[in-house]
Amino acid sequence: MSFRKENPLKKPEPYSDFSAQFGRNRLNNDVVRLTDLDAVKRSIKNLILTDKYERLLDPRIGAGIRALLFEPMTPLVTISIRDTISSTLATYEPRAIVDQIDVQPDYERQSYYVTIIFSIQSTEQVGTVEFFLNRIR
């Protein structure tokens, strides 16, 4: 029986994802990769913008915010969006420690401006994800 020794001086493996543009890396002719902070940012945004039952292999993944976007813009709906984002990230994105979620309604554009401030669990990196949530018919 063998035991794997963990080296405390070894840098943890970076989180990795591929770029959605499928660009080509000119050095190794492979797909462009996103690592660490950029990979977690992409994951957070994808989770929030994905609706329940939208992913074929795991229909539970997603925030399900689309239904809330068609409700009247009230403070209660804004709080519901924030709470939904918080629970989705706590459930499906263990790499991110969410520090703050800010949801601001934009009444003129009928959308919400979302800011998520988080840190990566394995490193000291802090990131921010900002985007609009709008209704799409």
pLDDT in the model for residue 137: 63
At 100, list the tokens. Answer: 């703050």
Residue 81 lies in a domain: yes
Q: Which tops the pLDDT comparison, 27 or 2? A: 27
- Interhelix angle 36-49/75-92, rounded to 10 degrees, is 130
pTM (two decimals): 0.76
d(CA 57, CA 69): 25
* Residues counted in the chain: 137
Q: 101: domain range?
A: 18-134
40: domain CATH number is 3.10.450.40
Which residues lie below 8 Å from residue 8, measured CB to CB, with a gap of 6+? none
Residue 104 lies in a domain: yes
d(CA 42, CA 45): 5
Q: Lowest mean pLDDT: which of 29-43, 76-90, 101-115?
A: 29-43
Residue 12 lies in a domain: no
Question: How confident is the prediction for the chain on average, in pLDDT?
Answer: 81
**How many independent structural domains does the chain possess?**
1
Give SS3 for 38.
helix
Q: Which tops the pLDDT comparison, 16 or 112? A: 112
Q: Report whether pLDDT(86) > 90.
A: yes
Which residues lie below 8 Å from residue 109, measured CB to CB, with a gap of 6+? 132, 134
Residue 127 lies in a domain: yes
Residue 4 lies in a domain: no
pLDDT in the model for residue 30: 58
Residue 119 lies in a domain: yes
Residue 89 lies in a domain: yes
Residue 64 lies in a domain: yes
Q: Report whether pLDDT(44) > 80.
A: yes
The bridge status of strand 16-18 relative to strand 96-106 is: unpaired
- Alpha carbon 68 to its chain centroid, in Å, reads 18
pLDDT in the model for residue 54: 86
Q: Report whether pLDDT(9) > 70.
A: no
The residue type of 52 is K
Q: Report whether pLDDT(14) > 90.
A: no
At 45, list the tokens. Answer: 């945004």
